[in-house]
Amino acid sequence: MEPLKITIKKEIFNDAYLPQLQNYQSRFNVYYGGAGSGKSHFVVQKMILKYLEFPNRKCLVIRKVGNSLRDSIFELFKTVLSDWQLLNRCEVKDSLLHIILPNGSIFIFKGLDDSEKIKSIANIDDIIVEECTEIDKQEFSQLGLRLRSKNPYNQIHVMFNPISKSNWVYEMWFQNGYDSSDTVVIKTTYKDNKFLPDDYINALLKMKETDPVYYRIYALGEFASLDKLIYTNWEELDFNWRELMKERPYVIASFALDFGYINDPSAFVAMIGDLVHKEIYIFDEFYEKGLMNDALAQKIIKKGYGKEIIFADSAERKSIDEIKKYGVPRIKPAKKGKDSIINGIQFLKQFKIYVHPSCVNTIEELKNYAWKKDKITKEYINVPIDMYNHCLDAARYGAQGFKIGNTTYDRKIYGKGKGVIRIGKTKRGGKVF
C-alpha cells in the first residue's frame, strides 16, 4: 500500500494543547477542567496522530459504562478521522466498536462493565479513560497494570471535570501535587476552546447566578462538590469573638479536639454557642499532622485555651490522660453513644454556623464533607463519607458544651424563667460568660 501522506494545519488544534501534541513521554496525561474546553477533542486528535505515526499499536478507550461510548468518544474518533479525510481508509467496526487505521493500529472501545472482556485483550500500548471520575481508584489501578507492552511510549490519557474533592482523582493528582517525571496535568476551560459557539459559553456563564457550584466546576474548571453536602447551614463571617461575648453575655464557649497523627491531622476548634439565637460561631482552629501529645498540649496552651474544658475524641483515652499530664487539666472525653455521629450532625444542623475566615480548614471541610451514596442504588444514605471530617468531628464533640441538659444554666434559659437570661456556671463543660 502507498504510504499515507497527510498535511495537518496547526489551526485545527486549540493552542493550549499544542505543547502536548507530541508528548509521548509522560505515562500519565491528566486533562481536566471546565466543560467544553476541548479536552476530549484534543486527546482524540493527539492519539490518532500518534497512531498514524506508529503502526500496529493497540489503544484501549475506556468509559465506565459501555453504552455511553458509542455516542460519545467513538463518534468523536469518527468525526476527527472524517475531518482529516481518513475515515474511508480506516476499517470501522460499528458493532464491535473497533477502529483500525490503514497502518494496522487499532482503537478498541470498551466499557468497564465488560471487565472480563477487557482482561482478554493482550498487549495494550495505550489507554484513554474518558470521564475518569466515573470509575474508581481500584479500577484505574487495574487498568494501569495492563499497560506494559513491549512497544515504547506507553501512555494513559484521562479526561474529567473536577466534580468533587472526595473523588479519588483529587487525592491522586492534586492534593499533594504529582510526580512531574511521569505525569502532566493540563487544566483548560471554555476560554481555551476557540471552536465553542457563543450560545454554549453564554449558557455556562449564566450558571454563575443560577448554580454557583456548577459554575465553579463547569465554567471555571475548579474542584467543587456535586456531592450532597452534609452542612449547608453555614457561612463565612468576619467577627470579633471577644466583642460577641461582651454583647451577648449568655453565650457559651466550647473547645474540642479530634486526634490524628500520621495519616490524619489532629484538629482543634474553638467555638461559641448562642443557644438563644441558635447560632454557633467557630472562631479558632488548628489542624496539623504528626503532633505528639506533648506538642498538642503545648499548642492548646499557647493558643490560650489550656485552662478550658476541652472535649476530645473518646476513642483515645490514653492521649487524653497524657495531654492532661502535659498541662491541660480539664480535657475530657466527649460522650460517644450509639449513632453519635448522626446525632451530632443533626444537632449541629439545627444551628446557623458562622465561621471566621481564619479557620481555613474548617471552611474547607464544610465545603466538602458529604453523604455517602449506596454503591448499588446510587441513593444517598445516612452515612457520611469518611473524609473532610477532622475539624467537623471536633465541632461535634465541642457541641456537647451546648447541649440542653438539666443544668442550672439550661433551666434558667429554657425553663420557668422563659427568655430570662442569667449568667451563671454550667455543670456540663463549656463556660458561661
Q: Which residues bind Mg ion (CB under 5 A)?
A: 40
C-beta of 72: minimal distance to Mg ion in Å?
A: 8
Task: Give the residue, chosen from 75, 141, 195, 381, that forms a contact with ligand ADP under the rule CB under 6 A.
Answer: 195
Binding part of the chain for ligand ADP, among 39-47, 238-246, 294-302, 375-383 by CB under 6 A, reads: 39-47
CB of residue 118 vs Mg ion: minimum separation in angstroms?
21
The candidate with the shortest Cα–Cα distance to 359, out of 222, 248, 260, 239, is 239
Instruction: Give the residue carrying C-alpha cell 474518558.
Output: 130
Q: Which does 193 bind (CB under 5 to 8 A by kind): Mg ion, ligand ADP, none?
A: ligand ADP
Closest residue to Mg ion, judged by C-beta, is: 40
By CB atoms closer than 10 A (0-12, 13-18, 19+), residue 382 is exposed
> Mask: binding to ligand ADP, 262-291, rule CB under 6 A, as x and -?
------------------------------
> Shortest distance, CB of residue 54 to ligand ADP, whole angstroms?
22
Q: Which amino acid is at 12?
A: I
13 contact, one of ligand ADP, Mg ion, none, CB 5-8 Å limit per kind: ligand ADP
Q: Are strands 58-63 and 106-111 parallel, antiparallel or unpaired?
A: parallel
Residue 50 binds which of Mg ion, ligand ADP, none (CB < 5-8 A, kind-dependent)? none
C-alpha–C-alpha distance, residues 54 and 217, integer Å: 36
Q: Is 20 in the site for ligand ADP (CB under 6 A)?
A: no
CA–CA gap between residue 155 and residue 54 (Å, rounded) = 13
Q: CA quadruple 68, 70, 72, 73: dihedral positive or negative?
A: positive
User: Quick one: which segment of 7-15, 49-57, 97-105, 255-263 binds ligand ADP (CB under 6 A)?
Assistant: 7-15
Partner interacting with residue 389 (select from Mg ion, ligand ADP, none; CB below 5-8 Å by kind) = none
Smaller CB distance to ligand ADP: residue 206 or 307? 206
- Of the two residues 218 and 283, which places its CB atom closer to ligand ADP in the complex? 218
The per-residue DSSP string of 387-426 comes to: SS-HHHHHHHHHGGGG---S-HHHHHHHSTTTT-------
Binding positions for ligand ADP, 149-178, rule CB under 6 A = 159
Cα dihedral across residues 374, 380, 381, 384: positive or negative: positive
| Shortest distance (Å) from residue 187 CB to ligand ADP | 11
Distance between CA 350 and CA 42 in Å, rounded? 48
d(CA 403, CA 355): 20
Give SS3 for 274: strand
At 172, give phi and psi (nearest 5°): -65, -45
Q: Considering only residues 29, 40, 154, 293, which one is a binding residue for ligand ADP as defined by CB under 6 A?
A: 40
Return the DSSP state at 119.
H
Q: Any contact of residue 193 with ligand ADP (CB under 6 A)?
A: yes
Q: Which is nearer to Mg ion, 14 or 40 (CB)?
A: 40
- Closer to ligand ADP by CB, 221 or 260: give it: 221
Instruction: Please give the biggest Cα pair distance in the chain.
Output: 97
CB of residue 197 to ligand ADP, shortest distance in Å: 8
Contact between 216 and 222 under an 8 Å Cβ cutoff? The reply is yes
Given 12, 205, 295, 404, the residue binding ligand ADP (CB under 6 A): 12
Q: What is the DSSP letter of 165?
A: T
Least CB distance from residue 167 to Mg ion, whole Å? 16
- When asked if residue 196 is in the footprint of ligand ADP (CB under 6 A), the reply is yes
Residue 85: how many other CB atoms lie within 10 Å = 9
The nearest distance, CB 83 to ligand ADP, in angstroms, is: 7
Nearer to ligand ADP, 13 or 268 (CB): 13
**How far apart are alpha carbons 52 and 99 in whole angstroms?**
12
Among 20, 37, 254, 407, binds ligand ADP (CB under 6 A): 37
Q: What cell was used for 188?
A: 483548560
Site for ligand ADP (CB under 6 A): which residue of 20, 41, 62, 126? 41
Cα–Cα distance measured from residue 225 to residue 170, given in angstroms and rounded to the nearest whole number: 12
List of residues contacting ligand ADP (CB under 6 A): 12-14, 35-41, 159, 193, 195-196
